[in-house]
Structure 1
Amino acid sequence: MMTAVGEPPELKKYSGTQRAAALLLALGQEHGIPIWQQLNDDEIKELSSSIASLGRVPAVVVEYLLGQFSGEVSSITTLHGSYETTERLLEGVLAPERVKDIMEDIRGPSGRTMWDKLSNVSEGVLAGYLKSEHPQTVAVILQKLKPDHAARVLAALPRDFGTEVVMRMLKTETVQKDVIVQVEQTLKTEFMTNLSRAQRRDPHETMAELFNALDRSTEEAMLGALDEKAPEEAERIRALMFTFEDLSNLLPSAIQVIVRNCNKRELALALKGAPEEMRRLFFGAMTERAAKLLRDDMAAMGPVRARECEAAQGNLVTLAKDLGERGEIVLADPKSDDAMIY
C-alpha cells in the first residue's frame, strides 16, 4: 500500500477500522450522530469495540484523519479510547437499550473478540455445547482457541468424538473466511446468548455472598433489620449463605482437603473462636502430631479478638468455595448422592 502525501508515519499501525474509530471518537457526539445513525448494529459493535481498545492516539494522526477539521483539534495532544468513553459517546447517539446491548457485547466475558470471549468459558461448559455440534465445526473452533484451552476442551469431549475432531483438524487446511464468520455468528446467536442468560444470577445469591463477606455483628444486624422489613427475602438469603458453621456438614475427606490447603495460622485463629464440636471435626481430619501442634499454637496465642477469629473463619469459607469451584471438594449435603470428592 502506497503512503499518501502528508500521511504521518504513525498512521501505518492503524487498520481501516481503527482509523474510522479514531475519527468518530474525535468527532464526538455532536458531529458524529449523523454517521452513527446510518450504521447497523454489527458495524456499531465493530467500531465501538475498536474505540474501546484504541488507547492513546497521537495528535498528528487525529489531525490527519480529521482533515478539514484540523484547525479545531490542533490543540489536542491525544485522545484516549476506553470502554467508558465509548459508552458515553454512544449514550448521546443511541437508545439506552441498544447502548447496553452493544457494550455488553464488546466487553463480553473478559474479551474483545468472539474467540477472546470463548477462551474465558470453562472447558466443561464449552465441551458440553460442542459435543452436539458437527466435528468439522468443532475442529474450526478449537483451531481458533489458544492451544492450552483447546487441549482442555478436547480432553472434556467424549473420546470417540474427540478423536474425530482431531482427524478433522489434521486434514483441515486454510479455513475460508466466510466459514469463520458463519461459525462466529452461530456461537454468538446460540451459545453465547444462552450462556449469558444462564449466568444471570438471582439477586439473592449476590446478596448472600455480600453478607458472607460482612463481619459477624454487621451481618446479624443487617439480617435482623431485613427480618422486620422483608422476612421472606431474609429467609432466602440465609438459605443461600455458606457460613463457617456449614463446614461441619462436609465429608471428612473434604475437611482434609481444606486443612491441606489452608494457612495454618488462619486455621488456628478460626478454631480458636469455634465451638468444640467444630474443633474436633478439624482435629479429626489431621494426623495426631499435626493436631497437637495446632492445639499448641492455639494455646500460645493467648486471648485474641473475636473479629480476628471471625475474619479467619471467613477466609476458610472463601477457601472452601474456591476448592469447590475447582472441583476438589463438593459443597453439598454429605448424605446426597452427589457428594463426592474428586
Structure 2
Amino acid sequence: MSDDKARAGAKVSRLEKAAILLMSLGEADAAQILKHMGPKEVQRVGAAMATLQNVTQEIVEDATSEFLEAVGGQTGLGIGADEYIRSMLTQALGADKAASLVDRILIGGNTTGLDTLKWMEPRAVSDIVRFEHPQIQAIVLSYLDPDQAAEVLSNFDENVRLEIMMRVASLETIQPQALQELNTILEKQFSGGAQGQTSKIGGVKRAADIMNFMESSIEAVLMEKIKNSDNDLGTQIEDLMFVFDNLKDVDDKGIQSLLREVASDTLILALKGADNELQEKIFGNMSKRAGELLKDDLEARGPVRLSEVEAAQKEILTIARRMADAGEIMLGGSGEEML
C-alpha cells in the first residue's frame, strides 16, 4: 500500500469501512447482510452510509482488501452454532435435562418477542409496558441494550424509575410465571416451553450499564433515590459504572484504538468537559502534529452547552463499550475486574 493510500485509509473508521463495503456490494447483497445484524448495528451502519462523501477509489479498495484479509483465515465453524448446540444437547440429554443447560448457554432461548422490542423506538416500548407490573418492566429493561433501556426508563416518572431500577439490580433469574406474563404482554409464544426453566438476566452490573446511558440530570436524581432507599446497593451500582473520566485508566494502546473510531468534532466537544489529566492522556496518544491541532481546535471552539459535552462523552463511551465487548480494548474503570 502506498503512503498516500495508507494515509487515506487511516482517516476512515472501521464503521465507515463497513458502510463503504456494503454500498459497494449493491442493494440486494447488502440487504441480505443487514438481515443478519441487530438493530443497533443496522442503525450505526445506516447512519455511516448516510454521511459518506468524497469516497475515493483507493479508499474503496482499501476497505475491500482489509475485509478480504480479515475473512481469509476464517472457516464456517460457528455459523448456525446456536441451533447446532440446542439440537446436540437435546439428543444427548433429552428435552427436559437439556432445556435448562441450553438456556444457560444461549441465555434466553427463543426470545422473538423481546427481540422485536429492540427494533422499536424507546417511547413505543415504554408505552407497551407502562401499565404492566414493575417486575415485568424490569425484565424488559434488563433484556434491552443498555442505551435503549435508559431511554425507555427516562419516559417514566421519577418514582417509577426508582422501583424499576431497584428491581433490575436485584434480578437474577426469570421465573416461569414472569415469562408467562411477558408472553401475554408481547402476544408472542416462546418455543421450547418455559416450564420449570429460568434465565439469568439483570443484576447490579446491568443496572449500572443502564445508568451509564441516562442523561446526567436524570441519573443523578435516580442514584440519590437509590442510595436513600438502599445505600449499599447504590454504592455497588456506582462502583460498576464506567464514566468518561475512567478513560484515564485505559492503556495507551486502547486509547489509540478508540481514537481511530471517534470523529474529531465529537472528541473536541467531549474534551471540553474533561480535566487536564485526561486531556493530556488523549494528546499523548496522538502524533505530535495531530495533538497540537486538537489543542488549537479545542481552544478555538469556545464555550459550548453542557448537554452537548455530555452527549459527545456518552457517544465516545458507547464506542468504548462496544470495542470492549468485542475484545478490542480493555476498560480499566472501577467496575472492571482484573484477572
TM-score bracket for this pair, using the shorter chain length: 0.3 to 0.5
Q: Higher relative contact order by CA 8 Å / sep ≥ 6: 1 or 2?
A: 2
Bigger Rg, which one: 1
TM-score w.r.t. length of structure 1 = 0.43
TM-score w.r.t. length of structure 2 = 0.44
